[in-house]
Homo-oligomer: A and B are copies of this chain.
């Protein structure tokens, strides 16, 4: 890994659950030497990607990231466009709704709306979702480029629960069903007791760029709920895709 990759991997250690970390802890988790870690942190701090708390000397993500993220968002208003519809869907379903965007090789959770229930599915912003074992992942793969699907099925397919599909053939079938149906269903693929439905958000070229999903405790979810949420999530995804791509509906059919 080059120096730049190392610096970025330090940034990746910060999460919603642990937004502040000390030097030793960062070095330990990243597997770098303390001196190296510190030098990288200094470089990141100089550029506003990391800030250091004056009192605790702990590090946290910096304001420079917000700036760049806003510039990206200005060109490609994924969040701005999608969040209102995520909110609507959360209101309508009274369950957890989350939005994800594809980055490098996984789906990244970029927004979440939680219902008021005490018993709910909890998801953190920034959480990374595996493609083969989540409703979002399957929905994404249903409209992804062939090479992406191939790479996913070839890669390691962890079984997170006893229900996780790990056979390439089974996953492939699940992807096909999702494509035909218009939305995916994932029954406890990542965690016991959670059932989710998701639909893909498409770019102008007809390929998926992200997903919107509803996740709920299985205990209170009926077959009718699933069907209803499936239609709702599909409608929301379609609306987001349309708003993102102007009104050129026709291009929304995938061509390759």
Contacts and interface: CB of A to CB of B under 8 A. Distances in A.
Interface of A: 2-5, 7-9, 11-12, 14-16, 19-20, 39-40, 43-44, 46-49, 60-76, 78-79, 101-104, 108, 110-111, 124-126
Contacts of A8: 43-44, 47, 49, 64
Taken together, the copies of this chain in the complex come to 2
A103 B62 contact: yes
A103 B71 CA distance: 16
A83 to B, nearest CB: 11
A118 B219 CA distance: 55
* Top 8 A-B residue pairs of the complex, sorted by shortest distance between their CB atoms: A69-B69, A19-B75, A4-B43, A61-B72, A63-B103, A48-B103, A8-B47, A4-B7
B66 A101 contact: yes
A216 B43 CA distance: 38
Contacts of A67: 103, 108, 110, 125-126
Nearest to A126: B71
Output the residue of A8, A40, A62, A102 with the most chain B CB within 10 A: A8
